[in-house]
Chains A and B, each alone.
Chain A
């Protein structure tokens, strides 16, 4: 999944309006990326990519780019 599609899927998972999220957006700045938001992103990665994300590895991601890299190569 390329970065553009990933951002779109991320926004859909968190029910965010399109266009706000960039690759260098810091995850902790996204209010909806709370505990429930993380679950939604995990569900998205599982459904769309067949990838079960490791919660500790997700915790270590700082930006959208980091998260994108993780879903490409899950721990």
Chain B
């Protein structure tokens, strides 16, 4: 078998649902002003999928945009990895539905992975491994989540933060270094801190799970809704993200100053500001794409890369540190050497 040396990102495109919810719309419902929401979260608006708009719909739009705008040939796609925690159905895998709708070849492998904020890194890690092992030469990584469908309208702890989105990334074998130095981690003890308790087989949805309660902070939710414990997530992040950076630096033999750009999971402004200071990252090296889209879970990192790339921020050969962390608890990081323009 011919072992390929490198795998790299060739193109990224995204789909944001048409409907936008601004802070001004949320403010009267949640008892904060629009300015307070922006100050607390760094988010001014978020896109929200329509009632019949599913992850497959958004993912197909993102992928079609990629095929049209980036002159990518769908016949070349040998695997499709779709990362979501809000699939169209319990089964089959949403990736199978998307394979058919995109007209990808029948010899294309297609599977879902269920990860959230770390999911893009996990997906890229798998894609890179498939390519570098020689098992495939070209694959599509899709991310997509509709968390807003599981948010209680009266839960301001999450309603202000999350938005919906999908992205498509073409990963291909490359002669030059691309994705490398992956680091992963898991602590399932944190599972209860970011969870939709009901709807699986442990707690099937029913009248009891739909019963909403108001907590001490005045947020209302049922067992069918998304729950997030902010302080627990923050504590976990402070412990694990520095380990991600030191892990990638140790594997690559690089120093913080050798990294040109830091692309963190765009959780909220407060968390990213603090992490940046803690890790001694110069402010001009931190990539932001949060204010107009909110926290889009598995899509935040590819959205941020797509946006910064479109603005001409990255130059060939520059090193990007990518880090995702959250629901699970699950975390992952990697280095991406920015590719030369396409052939």
A52 at the A/B interface (Cβ < 8 Å)? yes
- By a CB distance below 8 angstroms, the chain B residues around A38 are 230-231
B203 at the A/B interface (Cβ < 8 Å)? no
Q: Quick one: which of A34, A35, A46, A59 contacts B238, CB cutoff 8 A?
A: A46
CA A46 to CA B230, docked complex, whole Å: 16
- Which of A35, A46, A58 counts the most chain B CB atoms within 10 A? A35
CA A4 to CA B234, docked complex, whole Å: 26
CA A74 to CA B229, docked complex, whole Å: 20
Beta-carbon contacts of A38-75 to B below 8 Å, as 1s and 0s? 11001100110000111110110000000000000000
B2 at the A/B interface (Cβ < 8 Å)? no
Q: Quick one: which of A39, A52, A53, A56 contacts B230, CB cutoff 8 A?
A: A39
**In angstroms, how far is the closest chain A Cβ from the Cβ of B334?**
24
On chain A, the number of residues with a Cβ less than 8 Å from chain B's Cβ atoms is 16
B217 at the A/B interface (Cβ < 8 Å)? yes
CA A36 to CA B36, docked complex, whole Å: 12
Contact of A52 with B231 in the complex, beta carbons under 8 Å: no
Beta-carbon contacts of B227-240 to A below 8 Å, as 1s and 0s? 00111101100110
**In angstroms, how far is the closest chain B Cβ from the Cβ of A7?**
20
Beta-carbon contacts of B268-298 to A below 8 Å, as 1s and 0s? 0011001001100000000000000000000
Q: Quick one: which of B230, B235, B239, B277 contacts A36, CB cutoff 8 A?
A: B230
Q: How many A-B residue pairs have CB under 8 A?
A: 41
Contact of A46 with B229 in the complex, beta carbons under 8 Å: no
**In angstroms, how far is the closest chain A Cβ from the Cβ of B154?**
15
Contact of B229 with A47 in the complex, beta carbons under 8 Å: no
B251 at the A/B interface (Cβ < 8 Å)? no
Q: Quick one: which of B217, B229, B271 contacts A34, CB cutoff 8 A?
A: B217
- By a CB distance below 8 angstroms, the chain A residues around B40 are 36
CA A59 to CA B231, docked complex, whole Å: 10
- Given known contacts A52-B238, A54-B235, is B230 in contact with A47 (CB within 8 Å)? no
- Given known contacts A35-B230, A36-B40, A55-B229, is B235 in contact with A42 (CB within 8 Å)? yes
B4 at the A/B interface (Cβ < 8 Å)? no
Contact of B232 with A47 in the complex, beta carbons under 8 Å: no
- By a CB distance below 8 angstroms, the chain A residues around B239 are 52
- By a CB distance below 8 angstroms, the chain B residues around A34 are 217
Q: Of all chain A residues, which has the CB nearest B41?
A: A36
Contact of A46 with B231 in the complex, beta carbons under 8 Å: no
B186 at the A/B interface (Cβ < 8 Å)? no
- Given known contacts A42-B238, A52-B238, A52-B239, is B231 in contact with A35 (CB within 8 Å)? yes
CA A52 to CA B240, docked complex, whole Å: 11
Contact of A43 with B229 in the complex, beta carbons under 8 Å: no
- By a CB distance below 8 angstroms, the chain A residues around B217 are 34-35
Q: Of all chain A residues, which has the CB nearest B229?
A: A55
- Given known contacts A35-B157, A42-B238, is B274 in contact with A55 (CB within 8 Å)? no
**In angstroms, how far is the closest chain B Cβ from the Cβ of A55?**
4
- Given known contacts A35-B157, A36-B230, A55-B229, is B274 in contact with A43 (CB within 8 Å)? yes
Q: Which 9 A-B pairs have the closest CB atoms?
A: A55-B231, A55-B232, A38-B231, A52-B238, A55-B235, A35-B230, A43-B274, A39-B234, A52-B239
Binding site for B on A (CB under 8 A): 34-36, 38-39, 42-43, 46-47, 52-56, 58-59
Q: List 18 A-B contacts (CB under 8 A).
A: A34-B217, A36-B40, A36-B230, A38-B230, A38-B231, A39-B234, A39-B270, A39-B271, A42-B235, A42-B238, A46-B238, A47-B277, A47-B278, A52-B235, A52-B239, A54-B235, A55-B232, A59-B231
Additional A-B contacts beyond A42-B231, A47-B278, A52-B238 (16; CB < 8 A): A35-B230, A36-B40, A36-B230, A38-B230, A38-B231, A39-B231, A39-B234, A39-B271, A43-B274, A46-B278, A47-B277, A55-B231, A55-B235, A56-B232, A58-B231, A59-B231
